[in-house]
Chain A
Amino acid sequence: MTQPIVKASNLARFYEVKDGFLSKPKTVKALAGVDFELSPGKTLAVVGESGCGKSTLARLITMIEEPTEGTLNIDGTEITPSVWADMRETVAIVFQDPYGSLNPRQRIGQILEEPLVINRRDMSAADREAAAREMIEMVGLRPEHYDRYPHMFSGGQRQRIAIARALMLDPKVLVLDEPVSALDVSIQSQILNLLVELQDRLDLAYLFISHDLSVVKHFADDVIVMYLARAVEKASKETLFETPRHPYSKALLSTTPHADPEGKKERIKLEGELPSPMNVPLGCAFAARCWLATEACRKSVPNLEGTDHKVACLHPL
């Protein structure tokens, strides 16, 4: 197996939230210790419902924020704020909303060339333009799009532009923060196919953040299921979709729509709400909604255990 390009161990990010004038600030654990490895040419999907820490993870990997705890190692370099500037070329991101992620005042050419202007100062303007034009072609846009403004494009085309911009510096890791959830279904598959094609060609490592399990099934190699700032299950895509072991993963998978109307549906309905991250219950965070929970679950937090198929549960399925 190839050397992993991203190694994260016990990655955590806490936020302090002021809760009024005199009261003590509270700590919100947006991400409470996540480990993973990501290899070139592979896709790691992170799934979970809103507020489980997926986007915080993306912000840590893209070096917008510093982890509160844990270590992050990208391409053999230990990531600290002092090396952020040097590592910018290695990691790029594609955002969810293609309407907000492109500067409306810049033409497509300028948008694509900006990373080069910032990071490759010695590059001539002609070289930059050539690189941008090449990239426009690579993501399936037409040469005349170089001079246009973002508002002249549809959502799918904008997402292609966003992907093109992310690839301008030849990154090794691409963070995809729900890149297709704002697009309609026919466009989704085009963008996903483009991403697969680019991955094969450029040997990119993808960190694919999503809550759409059908897309993950189509796209990922490994999957991490997150629940309230922690990873609850981690396995290869096949294993996870065949035999989920954590009750939450099982419930999550049971919500995926199936194309077969005759097939029997075993939909697990979860009771209750996601606990507030400001006030996480003692023990397993999922215990309050779990149909298998026992006294022991409410006392201690289970660790993610196992070799290939890791699960954080005292009573795995």
Chain B
Amino acid sequence: MSDQATPAAATRPSALREFWYYFSENRGAVYGFWFFVAFVLCAALAPWLAPYDSAEQFRDHILQPPVWQEGGSWAFPLGTDPLGRDMLSRLIAGSRFSFFVGVIVVSIAVSGGVMIGLLSGFAPRWLDTIIMRIMDIILAFPSLLLALVLVAILGPSLTNAMIAIAIVFQPHYVRLTRASVLAERQKDYVTSARIAGAGLWRMMFVTVLPNCLAPIIVQGALSFSTAILDAAALGFLGMGAQPPTPEWGTMLAEAREFILRAWWVVTFPGLAILVTVLAINLMGDGLRDALDPKLKRS
């Protein structure tokens, strides 16, 4: 993919090509990116990709091992679970849930966190203090525990788990944004925007915010994967997605008693979580490098 991306010397390369050029310098990020694309496609096309319905039980094929092991068959390439459901179909269907958890949690946490952080960075001291103390209180709880409490209050379901995780993640963005805003506000270019007559809104969103985005994007990419992990953890604890749902964490929880007898039931959902999280983290690193103009060469 890198051959098409050399920017022409004379004309300004389009923003997308330029982005790809710098992004593709990081090999790991490219692998992460392609895996992520595959993951998204898988989530989008789940009903057509999956060989069976994720809830369909084949009572004759309970705990059938994967195809390469003795007793496996091509009918169920990754084996079946204790209720005779096809593992592959369930994993493909589960990618949808994980993807939605990531997208929704990160967008709620980032948009809320960045807004509050930006406000806090520009606010008078008393308001800043109030906001930051509230964030400190949220941060003082162990995050999974707080999410558990929130789910217990809201009632166990995947939606509530997502809301709970988003609330737990919010303070990280608030602090990150505020710290960057405070650092950037000291710089002369902000003063010079002010002397040019920029209003508060313009300074917040046009002058300062773009310069604070690099760490936020990296944090966003990283917490996309953490969100998937936390949702899986809540599912595992029985507080997230409820049983028939093929959510990866819930699948792990359901299968834990078979860990010695039927390794595939536990391993594949775990592996799916691991690989997805790893790919997103790699992609996040590449994203940061590509989006920071200071790392670009002329």
Q: With A and B bound together, what is the CA distance between A129 and B192 in angstroms? A: 20
Q: With A and B bound together, what is the CA distance between A165 and B188 in angstroms? A: 13
Residues of A within 8 A of B199 (CB): 118
Residues of B within 8 A of A162 (CB): 192
**B153 sits at the interface (CB 8 A):** no
- Whether B195 pairs with A104 at a CB distance below 8 angstroms is no
- Whether A64 pairs with B194 at a CB distance below 8 angstroms is yes
- Whether B193 pairs with A103 at a CB distance below 8 angstroms is yes
**A123 sits at the interface (CB 8 A):** no
**B242 sits at the interface (CB 8 A):** no
- Whether B293 pairs with A149 at a CB distance below 8 angstroms is yes
**B196 sits at the interface (CB 8 A):** yes
For chain A, what secondary structure do more than half of its interface residues adopt (helix, strand, loop), or is it mixed? loop
- Whether B196 pairs with A105 at a CB distance below 8 angstroms is no
A-B contact pairs, 25 of them (CB 8 A): A62-B195, A64-B191, A85-B197, A88-B195, A88-B197, A89-B197, A92-B196, A95-B191, A95-B192, A100-B188, A100-B189, A101-B187, A102-B189, A103-B207, A103-B211, A105-B211, A114-B193, A114-B198, A118-B199, A119-B196, A119-B197, A147-B12, A148-B298, A149-B293, A165-B196
**B17 sits at the interface (CB 8 A):** no
Residues of B within 8 A of A62 (CB): 195
**B296 sits at the interface (CB 8 A):** yes
* B residues 216-267 touching A (CB-CB < 8 Å): none
Give the top 7 A-B pairs by smallest Cβ distance, nearest first: A101-B188, A152-B298, A88-B197, A115-B196, A95-B188, A105-B210, A103-B189
Cβ-closest chain A residue relative to B188: A101
- Closest CB-CB distance, A220 to chain B, in whole Å? 23
**A66 sits at the interface (CB 8 A):** no
Cβ-closest chain B residue relative to A175: B195
**B294 sits at the interface (CB 8 A):** yes
- Whether A104 pairs with B294 at a CB distance below 8 angstroms is yes
**B202 sits at the interface (CB 8 A):** yes
Q: With A and B bound together, what is the CA distance between A209 and B202 in angstroms? A: 29
Q: With A and B bound together, what is the CA distance between A105 and B192 in angstroms? A: 15
Residues of A within 8 A of B202 (CB): 118
- Whether A93 pairs with B207 at a CB distance below 8 angstroms is no
Cβ-closest chain A residue relative to B211: A105
* B residues 166-224 touching A (CB-CB < 8 Å): 187-189, 191-199, 202, 207, 210-211
- Whether A118 pairs with B196 at a CB distance below 8 angstroms is yes
